[in-house]
Structure 1
């Protein structure tokens, strides 16, 4: 019997555990290890930050639902991976043995790369549930004491969608409160242009997102590198196409939320030969470490090069469908290695599918493959997309409760691509 340990119970780790158990069956043990005892649906964090969701609405107990599929669970914070002894060491000095390890951890949030950044200093975040709850406190302060707002993504960020979601959602909250006229908003981003999204743009994303920002009286600064943040003021260098400082800005703010750069978590990044310089796991086309043949990895923790060089560094996002396809490939490759005694043969599908809420409307984009040139480059918006994001939240949480191994993102996205006629029915 092989023991497979899945490290990280996020939007990649949970589906991975279900799929691995489903394909390997009762003869092999699957153990999930996660530092929290609840699964959190991270894409709903922007709603948490403005009070549109409560934590219990986007969280489910992990152990209870995994047990229904005969998957074991240990709630622990892993501080070290020993790939020679095939062991994980926890903060309590417990040792967890494994035959195969699947790394599905979230990122380390590198706020310390920018002086004054992060919830411990002067900017907010929606990257974790705890951060979103702290952001909600700051939003409440803003509602009571209106003033300038800055939203966006720091240099080195790779996840831009939530920043766009948040700025549009916050705009809706301020309009509903009748104080939008008292809150000037700047969208500050390391992207070379609006709608770049770390992907070189998708379809008409540039003009469509610019249009949405204009309609909502939101100004923007692209090619932005934040020099430092102090209480109530953000100091920004705006670079030109050659990477030379073109303008310098000192923007006041009462509230700010910027997505930070991501790194690999320490326990993973500290394993010699496993990761690149930023702590992301190096994998082959089968999601397996070239250095350690019994370690697989998928999701945010995996090393992917940027789409192209940009004046301000931007990373490549790992969207839900890409993550899901990585985990499916890992499950099939574990079956090949463990059950069939054959080399891995399955590969993830490098496509990007994203559903974004925009307060009272929404957007969906599909990039197949993720890196251009593409077979499909599809970007649409409308109220139907806002409803689709709500529907997908329920769909995903239900899948995590039932443990279904049916692919989620592809099925859901293809359904959305089939109802684009609803764009003409926004007023209904």
Structure 2
């Protein structure tokens, strides 16, 4: 009998638990440890922030879901992983031993790297449902007394899609409230150009997003570093293509949402051989850590190098399709090892994204995520908005049922089918 411990219960951890339970032997124990009692569907956070969703609509109690599938659950934070001892230390003083450990922790949000950034500073966040609920309260105050908006992603950020998504959702909500004319909007990003997305662009994402921004009267500043944020004022340095300071901007705002850079969580940060200098977990092609081969990692906590060098640092996003592929590979590789076989399954690092823009949306498919690609497609239309709404309901249904069906696989196939119909 083996004890397989999964740390984290988010978009990586919950599917990991379900797939691991299905792949494991009947005698093996699967236990999830999480610092939250509820799963929440992160892609819906922008809707929560403008009061289009209540947080209760995108949350599920974790313990009863796992219990139905004979998966153990410990509601506690992991204070430290001790890989040499095969145990994790919890913040309540307990220690949990493991035979195999899967890290699905998600990231630590590095608001502290920029003075005044984040919910404890002067900007909002949609990275967590708690942040989105806080942002909603601020939004309701803002629309009653509108002014300038600054939105985007800071230097070192790797998840750019939600910044575009939230900018467009805010723009849509303002139009519906008939106060859009009172709100100048500026998109500030570390990307070298609009639509880069941390992926070197996908299809004509640059041209399409620039066109959308021009149509919606959203100005932009690229190659931007946020120096500091004060109440109602953001200080930004724009850089040239060589990474040298080019121009400084002092941007007034009445409302701002800026995505932060990510780091590894404290539980693993600084463990030699386990993580890189930013605290992300080092893995091989089979999702295993090279130093501690009984430790696997999936999702945003995984170390992935940037797609390319950019004038201002940008990271590479880990999209849902990639995460699900990591989960499946990890579950099958652990089962192979349990059976005395070498792990051979590799994740398919493809990028698929549905970004809701309020009343329409943008979708991209990058196969593989890192160029050169076999498929390099970007599209825009109302169908994306409808697909994102349907996808939310489908994923929540998957979590309730505990099915291991790969949701993003269906999205990819549908997108490729649309491309074929359009003759692309």
Note the C-alpha offset of 1:412. Answer: 2.2
Q: Which residue of 2 aligns with 1:2?
A: 2
Q: Which residue of 1 aligns with 2:341?
A: 342
Is this contact kept in 1: 2:270–2:277, CA < 8 A?
no
Q: Which residue of 2 aligns with 1:416?
A: 415
Where in structure 2 are the equivalents of 1:91-130 lying within 5 Å? 91-130=91-130
Q: Which residue of 1 aligns with 2:368?
A: 369
SS of residue in 2 equivalent to 1:266? coil
Q: Which residue of 1 aligns with 2:256?
A: 256
Q: Which residue of 2 aligns with 1:401?
A: 400
C-alpha distance in 1 between matches for 2:130 and 2:421: 36
Q: Deviations over 1:178-215 (max 9, x none)?
A: 11111100000000000000000000111111111111
Q: Which residue of 2 aligns with 1:214?
A: 214
Is this contact kept in 2: 1:384–1:422, CA < 8 A?
no
SS of residue in 2 equivalent to 1:268? coil
C-alpha distance in 2 between matches for 1:269 and 1:349: 26
C-alpha distance in 2 between matches for 1:420 and 1:358: 20
C-alpha distance in 2 between matches for 1:150 and 1:357: 19
C-alpha distance in 2 between matches for 1:76 and 1:26: 26
Q: Which residue of 1 aligns with 2:179?
A: 179
Note the C-alpha offset of 1:419. Answer: 3.5
C-alpha distance in 1 between matches for 2:174 and 2:416: 31
Note the C-alpha offset of 1:389. Answer: 0.3
Q: Deviations over 1:270-315 (max 9, x none)?
A: 3222000000000000000001011000110000000111010000
C-alpha distance in 2 between matches for 1:111 and 1:63: 30
Residues matched between the structures, number: 423
Q: Deviations over 1:231-284 (max 9, x none)?
A: 111011100101111111101000000000000000011322200000000000
SS of residue in 2 equivalent to 1:278? coil
C-alpha distance in 2 between matches for 1:397 and 1:70: 20
SS of residue in 1 equivalent to 2:349? coil
Q: Which residue of 1 aligns with 2:136?
A: 136
Q: Deviations over 1:85-106 (max 9, x none)?
A: 2111111111111110000011
Is this contact kept in 1: 2:283–2:290, CA < 8 A?
yes
Where in structure 2 are the equivalents of 1:380-395 lying within 5 Å? 380-395=379-394
Is this contact kept in 1: 2:190–2:225, CA < 8 A?
yes
SS of residue in 2 equivalent to 1:269? coil
Gaps of 5+ in 2: none
Stretches (4+) displaced over 4 A? 420-423
C-alpha distance in 1 between matches for 2:169 and 2:419: 22
Note the C-alpha offset of 1:420. Answer: 5.5
TM-score by length of 2: 0.98
C-alpha distance in 2 between matches for 1:108 and 1:43: 17
Note the C-alpha offset of 1:422. Answer: 9.4
2:56 counterpart of 1:56: yes
TM-score by length of 1: 0.97
Is this contact kept in 2: 1:6–1:30, CA < 8 A?
yes
RMSD of aligned Cα (Å) = 1.3
Where in structure 2 are the equivalents of 1:348-367 lying within 5 Å? 348-367=347-366
C-alpha distance in 1 between matches for 2:250 and 2:322: 38
Q: Deviations over 1:36-59 (max 9, x none)?
A: 111110010000100001111101
Note the C-alpha offset of 1:406. Answer: 1.6
C-alpha distance in 2 between matches for 1:318 and 1:168: 22
Q: Deviations over 1:141-180 (max 9, x none)?
A: 1101110000000000000000000000000111111111
C-alpha distance in 1 between matches for 2:50 and 2:279: 32
Q: Which residue of 1 aligns with 2:77?
A: 77
SS of residue in 1 equivalent to 2:88? strand
Is this contact kept in 1: 2:234–2:252, CA < 8 A?
yes
